[in-house]
Structure 1
Amino acid sequence: MSVAKLIFFLAVLFLLSPYGSPALALAIGLVIALTLGDPFPHLSGKPAKYLLQASVALLGFGMNLGAVYASGKDGILFIVTVVFGALLIGTLLGILLNIPSRVRTLISCGTAICGGSAIAAVGPAIKAENDEMSVSLGTIFILNAVALFLFPIIGNGLEMSQAQFGIWSAIAIQDTSSVVGAATVFGSEALATATTVKLARALWIIPLALALAFIYRKGNGKAKIAIPWFIFFFVGAAAVRTFAPAWILPSVFDSLVNIAKAGLTITLFLIGLSLSREMLRNVGWRPFALGTILWIIIASASLAAVLRFV
């Protein structure tokens, strides 16, 4: 067994212990990726994606359906504003920076909705090339890594409430994994709010991908639209928790939520491992500048709105 593989397994054991956390998982993954390389690169693709989706669905067992509805309703105005604002500003900035149409569309969609998942769904719809997908994913992944560490610090520094931080992280951080990771660090109430609002935001993948498939329809054939089914499993899990008969002990649901948190931690570890030196080199300054400027605008504006209205 190579040194990298041995360290990989030791890291997984450590992260599954009481000392592990989402932020630490991402940091350890980054350190291993940038020093020893990813010993299991195939795990950072579909396995990490499915693990994230299963973990998010299981988080529903820790939430009441009424609270899910209330959180989603409270965040809907923020979601609509961010989705359309990010798409508009991203398009204009992309034109100013002379970024190719498909790349600016992918980065704008990733910022507007749910990061890598939105890019993966929209990419086939607009017939994006592999290098365009890689550049866009790399940009979003780097910014998500920064957000996971930075947002809890800002939230604590501004003495945000659990509800405020949950809504802010859900509308200002791109990927679901980093949203849930940051909210987990901040508190259980923030986690419940952030997960619900984030999944409501993720539902925009479907109409957006369909709209872009129509816009890029020339030579597009039948576009493949990825439907985020795990969101409905999350709502179903919350319904089970809400209407469960009295003979089902709450500890059963708590155990499922603990499994979800462990799955999320390992997901972030795998995401950290995927951020290789090659990916960092291939991103390029223009797409990264677009993603960074757009993210700062959205995060700052949404922070001001949340502090004022929530």
Structure 2
Amino acid sequence: MLKGCLVCLGIAVPAYILGNFFPVIGGPVFAILLGMCIGRLIKDQSSYEKGIKFVSKKVLQLAVILLGFGLNLRNILEVGAQSMPVIISTISVSLIVSYILSKALKIPAKTGILVGVGSSICGGSAIAATAPVIKADEEEIAQAISVIFLFNVIAALIFPTLGDIMGLSNEGFGLFAGTAVNDTSSVTAAASAWDGMHGSNTLAIATVVKLTRTLAIIPITFVLAIVEAKKSKEKKKMGNVFPMFILFFLLASVITTVFHLDGTIVHVLKTMSKFCIILAMAAIGINTDVVKLLKTGKKPILLGFVCWVAIALVSIAIQMALHLN
């Protein structure tokens, strides 16, 4: 167990540092890339296998639980309530598009689900929460993370200029970035770029909208757990229907909301969550066949692109319809 954990830790630390230097790319992507390189160098992984499996499964679930401590439900519901129509619309469209296109392109169902939830909810965090529920393997997770990463970078680079062209207000762009950009790091990058151009405080709006989107992890994983239970004909015990780590994620959010945890404590717990995701992605990278990933990557990229465009268009359309932009 220890040998595999230490290998993952040795990858996660530099990946975390690189992610801080290049936030648009993010630590999880660096961890997967480094993990795939290290995995190719280790000829016999048998003595590392137990630790790597533990990190890729259990540490990933711990990351989702710790993520809950960063969600103050009261603040999110107060500030993010007006964004709910846009959030619900974009999530629904992304999931429908990913389902239909996955069937049309004959993309493996689990890859389609991961790309769909990653695009619509909160990138790597949503993938981390969903993967254990649908029992996705390492290559499916790596595929989805790679697709999300690609469009994260593009969004962070072009959305501020696109928002200017469309004449969005500061509030409108905050809502646009918060609903149409996949991962937290890229939402931050896009909103910060807008603030630099306009001298505004759009980052605060975009962050709250993004956190509100994160709550969709709960109903989405609940539905997927029921579907998986029916497929495998398991008895509908609570642990099977609703994964316990998602319950702990919700409990963590409630604790933060009720007890008003100190900002420093919340920051530490959120940082721990971020590092645990990076650690898990290192393990997933080690077990990923990079050659197979490249060969099978075209269709998931097309799926991610269509989901990304659909979300952006729906976000703007709903804002215009409700006069929020």
| TM-score normalised according to structure 2 size | 0.65
Q: CA deviation at 1:68?
A: 1.2
Is the Cα–Cα contact under 8 Å of residues 111 and 143 in structure 2 kept in the other structure?
no
1:210 to 1:263, Cα distance in 2 relative to 1, 3 A = closer
Q: Is the 8 A contact 2:32 2:142 kept in 1?
A: no
* 1:28-86 deviation per Cα after TM superposition (whole angstroms, max 9, x unaligned): 424522433498734333213313431x23324xx582x31134422321232233323
**What's the C-alpha RMSD, in Å, of the aligned pairs?**
4.2
Structure 2, gaps ≥5 residues long: 43-47, 193-202
- Residue 259 of structure 2 aligns with an amino acid whose one-letter code is V
Equivalent position of 1:88 in the other structure: 96
Q: Does 1:141 align with 2:149?
A: no
Summarize deviations over 1:136-166 as a string: whole Å, max 9, x none.
4233211232344343333443367775565
Aligned AA (1:270): L
**In 2, Cα distance between the equivalents of 1:29 and 1:146?**
15
Partner of 1:222: 235
In 2: Cα distance, 1:22 partner to 1:45 partner: 26
Partner SS state of residue 298, structure 1: helix
Further displaced range: 97-106 or 140-149: 97-106
Query: What are the ranges of 5 or more consecutive residues in structure 1 without an aligned counterpart?
Result: 125-129, 242-251
Alignment partners' CA distance in 1, 2:108 and 2:23: 38
| Secondary structure of 1:203 counterpart | helix
Letter paired with 1:77 = P
Q: Which residue of 2 aligns with 1:236?
A: 255
Cα distance in 1 for residues equivalent to 2:9 and 2:279:
15
SS at match of 2:241: coil
Q: How does 1:150-229 map to 2 (within 5 A)?
A: 150-157=154-161, 158=163, 164=172, 167-168=175-176, 170-172=178-180, 179-185=183-189, 186=191, 189-190=204-205, 192-206=207-221, 208-209=223-224, 212=227, 217=230, 220-222=233-235, 224-227=240-243, 228-229=246-247
Shift of residue 288, structure 1, vs aligned partner: 1.4
The answer to whether residue 34 in structure 2 is matched with residue 32 in structure 1 is yes
Is contact 2:112-2:300 (8 Å) kept? no
1:22–1:136 distance in 2 versus 1, CA, 3 Å: same
| TM-score, normalisation: structure 1 | 0.68
Partner of 1:244: none
Which of 263, 268, 281 pairs up with 1:259? 268
2:218 partner letter: L
| Residue among 11, 14, 17 paired with 1:11 | 14
What secondary structure sits across from 2:234 in the alignment? Answer: coil
Q: Equivalent residue for 1:247?
A: none
Closer, same or farther: CA 19–296 of 1 in aligned 2, 3 Å = closer
Helix, strand or coil at the partner of 2:233:
coil
Contact 2:15-2:34 within 8 A present in 1 as well = no
Would you say how many aligned residue pairs link Structure 1 and Structure 2?
281
Alpha-carbon distance between aligned partners in 2 of 1:33 and 1:211, rounded to the nearest angstrom: 32
